[in-house]
Structure 1
Amino acid sequence: MSTHPLRLGLLGCADIAWRRTLPVIQCEPAVELVAVAARDMAKAKVFADRFGGQAVEDYRALLERPDIDAVYIPLPAGLHREWIVRTLNAGKHVLVEKPLTTRHVDTVEVLELAGSRGLTLMENLTSLRHGLHTAVQDLVSGGEVGELRMLSAAFGFPPLSPKDIRYRPDLGGGALLDVGVYPLSTAQRFLGPDLEVVGATLKQDPEYGVDVSGDVLLRTPDGRTAHVAFGFEHGYRCDYALWGSGGRIFVDRAYTPPPTWHPVIRLERQDEVRELTLPPEDQFATTLRAFLRAVSTSEQPADAEVAIRVQAQLVDQIRDRAQA
């Protein structure tokens, strides 16, 4: 195991990098930001001045640098497949914003490429690694709600700026890929990977040409169900509920809790209501540490890759069902 910090390059100066990921990287001694690449050199310099590293004008030039071990890619979803492939072929590990790619076939391709090259490829879907969800899983496994029967999950917020890239179909925009993946990941976490899309709707915006909201019904082979909802045209909502034979668990602020937020789990049973308050956690820091472990050990949990593949498959099924 190397005792030197992981030398990281940033490919694309996105808002999520500025607000959440780079501040965490800056505070982590096991990683060093070496270079920042953007289409706009002035923007690259702003990022480099704030977080360190050298500003680079060209993405390809960054990938050619021998002093970079790994690359963080917060580019629009529609560009992920191309730049994941380029980065892996350059011999560098990849941490990429969600979704990994926009299609199941592309997700399988990049995962297999990473495996063949012995490189780490991780999706930065940070909510998956927050301890809140592990605590909920422990309650379910401990029988606190009896047998789990049904799950509901939702993530939505008001319309975005008309210039937001999430309204760009050529860049992989749309609510399904941006916010729908969060409640879908919840369904998979608690109901397992054998989910089938029973029905789906996607509301297309005729002006932008992307889906701005959606609803999905899923089921497992043994008859348990999940309903997930998402969109860009709602009052803010970010929660999920688990309904079992003996009770219910409800979690608010489930997917994007601030690092100072104390998550609350509400447990409701016939003669009891309990609220469990957990310590705050920065899920971006937790994900970064998971990435660093995977790189240093050359190992990733097998269930993490399965989850990514299943998620991509569900997204394709939703599109197919919604168009039928």
Structure 2
Amino acid sequence: MNSANAPRLRMGVLGCADIAWRRTLPAMVANPSIDVVAIASRRAAKAAKFTARFGGRPITGYERLLDSPDVDAVYIPLPALMHAEWVETTLLAGKHVLVEKPMTASLADTARLLELAKERGLVLLENYMFLHHSQHAAVRALLDAGAIGEIRGFASDFTIPPKPEGDIRYQQDVGGGAFLDFGGYPVRAALHFLGHGLDVVGAVFRYDTVTNVVMSGSILLATTTGIPAQLSFGMEHSYRTHYELRGSTGRLFLDRAFTPPESYQPVVRIERQDYREERVLPPDHQFANVLAFFVDAVLEGVDLEPHHTGTLAQAELIDRIRDAASVQKI
């Protein structure tokens, strides 16, 4: 696919978010199978700033980008509560879509959009990029090899310090708060390692009455055989992205689980009675990996059904957690 005569995917970017600037667009322009042809913003100056660095033509207004005949696929890094509207509009314009997580804020919208993409023969992929990092496959291999015995529990955190006042995450009708933004990571990791069909035992959310958003929370899930998943998230903590698997004979830890830089060498820690081991894994570039996967899905027809199954399971579980949560106002 990377030869001079191989097909290339002409991509547009709908929105000039920080994640696009720092992580996704650098990986996108480095992919030899992608041409960044246009970047749209509602502000002309911001679109011009992005295209000056990453190429393509600046476009003012999202609709104008979707009208562009030279755009095959669109990357959408807009705030979470804008995803459903613009994913649907992009699919109706006949473009493939890579959208930042969460795909939408509800199971109903996510299922509807996946069905729309299927009806129109288009690729729609939710960008939970950490799933494309090789460190998690290495953890899975260790579990399968019996490194900690049978799984007896799972725990995971994604927390960050407070953001500046006015940050999009503090806007109820746009960013939607910490649960949609950060809570999805440990939830998706629990699904990844424990499987689908998790029960919601309970949840507690801290709700800020000034911003009207959830600031942090804790969640307890369980498998049908009673294996618990203890999860926490928030944007009023020290920074932590971590998971731990507890087994019948030991424990396994992984830090920097969700947002490792491409140069970072992950360290898996295994503890058993009178035994401790650290395994340094090779660095990996999860943003480059998910973009390569998306390109293959569009140009080569890679089967996305397993990913869509995971997306739907995630959306369904997020709905149930939100419905079950005890909300404590602060």
Normalised by the length of structure 1, the TM-score is 0.98
**Kept after mapping to 2: 8 A contact 1:36/1:55:** yes
2:288 maps to amino acid: A
Is 2:303 the counterpart of 1:300?
A: yes
Is 2:182 the counterpart of 1:179?
A: yes
Is 2:80 the counterpart of 1:98?
A: no
Quote the offset at 1:79 in angstroms: 0.6
RMSD of aligned C-alpha atoms?
1.2
Match of residue 43 from structure 1? 46
- Secondary structure (helix, strand or coil) at the match of 1:34 reads strand
Q: 1:71 pairs with 63, 69, 74, which one? A: 74
Quote the offset at 1:323 in angstroms: 4.7
Match of residue 234 from structure 1? 237
Match of residue 250 from structure 1? 253
Q: 2:90 pairs with 72, 87, 92, which one? A: 87
Match of residue 222 from structure 1? 225
1:71 maps to amino acid: V
Deviation by residue 1:133-192 (Cα, 9 ceiling, x = unmatched): 110011111111111010000010111111100001111421111111111111001100
Deviation by residue 1:38-63 (Cα, 9 ceiling, x = unmatched): 00011101111110001111211110
Cα distance between partner residues in 2 of 1:53 and 1:236: 35
Match of residue 158 from structure 2? 155
Match of residue 314 from structure 1? 317
Is 2:6 the counterpart of 1:11?
A: no
Cα distance between partner residues in 2 of 1:269 and 1:27: 42
1:153 maps to amino acid: S
Quote the offset at 1:196 in angstroms: 1.3
Cα distance between partner residues in 1 of 2:211 and 2:321: 20
Cα distance between partner residues in 1 of 2:256 and 2:175: 26
Cα distance between partner residues in 2 of 1:315 and 1:323: 14
Match of residue 281 from structure 1? 284
Cα distance between partner residues in 1 of 2:122 and 2:300: 11
Cα distance between partner residues in 1 of 2:256 and 2:61: 38
Query: 5+ unaligned residues in a row in structure 2: which ranges?
Result: none
Q: 2:203 pairs with 177, 187, 200, which one? A: 200
1:237 maps to amino acid: R
Match of residue 141 from structure 2? 138
Deviation by residue 1:98-134 (Cα, 9 ceiling, x = unmatched): 1110111111111111111111111111111110011
Cα distance between partner residues in 1 of 2:57 and 2:111: 33
**Kept after mapping to 2: 8 A contact 1:7/1:34:** yes
- Secondary structure (helix, strand or coil) at the match of 1:113 reads helix
Quote the offset at 1:198 in angstroms: 0.8
Runs of 4+ in 1 over 6 A off after TM superposition: none
- Secondary structure (helix, strand or coil) at the match of 1:216 reads strand
**Kept after mapping to 2: 8 A contact 1:120/1:300:** no
Quote the offset at 1:298 in angstroms: 2.4
Q: 1:32 pairs with 31, 35, 42, which one? A: 35
Deviation by residue 1:220-267 (Cα, 9 ceiling, x = unmatched): 111111000000011111111000101110001111111110000001
- Secondary structure (helix, strand or coil) at the match of 1:180 reads helix
Match of residue 56 from structure 1? 59
Q: How many positions carry a matched residue from both structures? A: 324
Query: 5+ unaligned residues in a row in structure 1: which ranges?
Result: none
Cα distance between partner residues in 2 of 1:187 and 1:44: 37
Is 2:17 the counterpart of 1:20?
A: no
Q: Quote the sequence identity (%).
A: 50
Match of residue 128 from structure 1? 131
**Kept after mapping to 2: 8 A contact 1:63/1:90:** yes
**Kept after mapping to 1: 8 A contact 2:7/2:299:** no
Deviation by residue 1:274-311 (Cα, 9 ceiling, x = unmatched): 11101111110011111111111223342211111111
**Kept after mapping to 2: 8 A contact 1:7/1:33:** yes
1:197 maps to amino acid: V
2:10 maps to amino acid: R
Cα distance between partner residues in 2 of 1:242 and 1:75: 33
Cα distance between partner residues in 2 of 1:305 and 1:220: 21
Is 2:268 the counterpart of 1:262?
A: no
Q: 2:115 pairs with 112, 117, 121, which one? A: 112
